[in-house]
Structure 1
């Protein structure tokens, strides 16, 4: 019997189809097939084995999927959804977030998607200090499925970043978990499986966590 794509990943593919191309939800029957490519250059493949599905993350083989830092330096990044920051910091343990301009300069492929992802969380939590952007307010996270869809979207952008040739790794943080993504460790599938099988973290916990 063919294994089913995990529920939350299937919901992500349905709700965020605008970010995906070449979707394939058919059983792979042991062969590795492309599940989807993202519009910013991440490829997710699936392999069915021993009744389960394994996922692999790679860059779409295109120059557009790779963006080297202008400075040409290697560094580690943290994606940490804290209120009143762009959620992205350069250098592990750095308390200061990168500005939208810095993100656009270093990672232009994901800059707009990353900003929308951040705003959708802040709209959902009612924490924006300005008028909500009407283009993203309808993406507000309001239920368990929406919460996991939001977390999967962030994880995929973190994978794309971690696969860049001059990025040492990315720490992707949720309320209670930290997922460490390094292209040389070949463990992105294990981190992803842990994410999509984790318990939903309640809004109350996240709201308390991001307050100063």
Structure 2
């Protein structure tokens, strides 16, 4: 059982990432979309996939991957997540600048736009805190609380954004991916906060 567990975990994660993309690629709606719009949509799907991977790496729960290495990869996937988000927005801008401006100014009539913008700014904020952690000079607990808080807003906003969109993603696979992102993120957040509280108690005792 111990030997098969890593295979099952990695296999389940791969399926959770690949299946929604494959089903979206087979959507008949793609026939009426231009290439830039399609690229923007798949960048959004890639962002959701990375949001599943990020907490798994931060928590160091992936089998066969030491915590120190997992967190180094976490930083690189964070950079990839920012790049994918910026590409998503830039491609949508090329498709329709007025729609992107309305979304950024929170005057878009589509509710999913506001959630996407909130998630975007929170994600960029979390990445900025990570990039300038040492230069900020704030205590570790405050920095970590800010980073985790912004990450939580990013995840929640992204899930609502994705679920409200009626697009190329197949509904069931999208719901399962979003559900996994929420469950994994909540578990990792609880574990990280719990470990921080235990460490603080040990220092006081």
Question: Do both share a fold (TM > 0.5)?
Answer: no
**As a proportion of its length, which structure holds more helix?**
2
Normalising to structure 2: TM-score of the pair?
Answer: 0.35
TM-score, scaled relative to structure 1? 0.34
